[in-house]
Structure formats: C-alpha cells, structure tokens
Amino acid sequence: MRKWTEKTVMHSYPGMVALVTAASGGKVNIMAAGWHSYISYEPPIYGVAIAKERYTHHLIEGSGEFAINFVPEAYAHYIQFSGTKSGAETDKLTEMNAPYTKGRTIGAPILDHAYIAYECKVMDQRTYGDHDWFVGEMTGFYKDDSLFHENGLPRWGRLSIPLYVGRSQYMIAGTENKVLNLYHDNSTKKNV
C-alpha cells in the first residue's frame, strides 16, 4: 500500500539513457545520462542534467557544446561502461573502441553506432541542487531512417532499444507485440 514519506523517492526508470559526448582542449569524453529531455520543438532545444564533479561537465563548460547520442541494444555496453568510468582517468571512447566523427556544427564526437544523435550549443546553464541543467540549441541532427516507420515510430524488427532499469540492469524495447496501443477511436466511444 502506498504511504507518504519525507525521504526522496526516485522513479524515473525504466528509461532511455542518452550518451552525452563533449570535447574541449583536445580532450573528448562520453558519459551516460538518465536525466535528459526535449524542451522545445521550434526552435529545437534539448536539456541534460550533469553533476558538477563529472568530467563531461568540465568539457561542456570549456567548449559550450555537447552531443546527445542514442545507441541500439548491440551497443548497450557503451552505456554501462561510460556510466561507470571517469573520463578524467581514461579515454573511454578509445577503451571501448567506439568509433565516432566530429560533429558538423560542434566539436563533440558523434558516435558512428548512434541511430539518433543531436548536436547542441549551450544556450543556458543553471544549477538545481546537485546537478547543472545544460540547455542546448539543437544545431544538427542524425537519424537512421531505415530503423523508423514514416510516422516516426521504431521498426521493432530492426531496432531494439536498451532501457535502463537501475543497478546496471536493462530491459529491451524491441518487439511490436509488447507495445500497448492506448488509442481509441472517438467515433465509437460511448458517453460514460
């Protein structure tokens, strides 16, 4: 039974993990971020929460840029590895053997295996509690169209998406028969 508590209750998972990449001063890094969101469609704006002690935080402040990358199940190990190692101590992209190219509008790495990636230029940075919220103007986009239907939904037979559950566990979204369709045709709806 649900009860009220004064302790912080976290319930943001399962959810997609963004791989945030950044570059500054000849250094590159990648980190896993569970707290991220679209903020605006027009103009396109994206935000991500990053703790100040993270090496990626330092790189984003130095460059004013970052990239958001989403990888399929086959590369879920990128999420796990980049979320458990520090870029201040190791070159995570090299150690993971994760190929990338430099962005077109920013200097941050764009993962070759990302099925979706966004290039972002920082337009605002605010501290909220123990994290900074970086707000980025989205200046470039990458998408593997072969993995999506014309309506934008994933082609589950071709794309399996890792969803982080917590404690280094993932569930995989990837079969159409596991999708719950809550659409109801209003023309057949009765007054209730």
What are 35-90's pLDDT values in tens digits? 999 999 999 999 999 999 999 999 999 999 999 999 999 999 999 999 888 999 99
Predicted TM-score (pTM) of this structure: 0.88
Task: Tell me the average pLDDT across 18-31.
Answer: 98
pLDDT of residue 167: 79
Q: Does the pLDDT of residue 190 top 70, yes or no?
A: no
pLDDT of residue 165: 84
What are 127-147's pLDDT values in tens digits? 999 999 999 999 999 999 999
pLDDT of residue 38: 97
Q: Does the pLDDT of residue 185 top 60, yes or no?
A: no
Instruction: Name which residue leads in pLDDT, 122 or 173.
Output: 122
At 189, the pLDDT band (50, 70, 90 cuts) reads: very low
Give the pair of three-digit tokens for residue 76: 């879920």
Rounded CA-CA distance 116/98 in Å is 15
Long-range contacts of 86-90 (CB under 8 A, 24+ apart): 86/55, 87/27, 87/29, 87/30, 87/31, 87/55, 87/56, 87/59, 88/55
pLDDT of residue 175: 65
Backbone φ and ψ of 79, nearest 5°: -65, -50
What are 108-127's pLDDT values in tens digits? 999 999 999 999 999 999 99
Helix H or strand E segment including 66? strand 65-70
pLDDT of residue 184: 41
pLDDT of residue 155: 94
Average pLDDT, the chain: 90
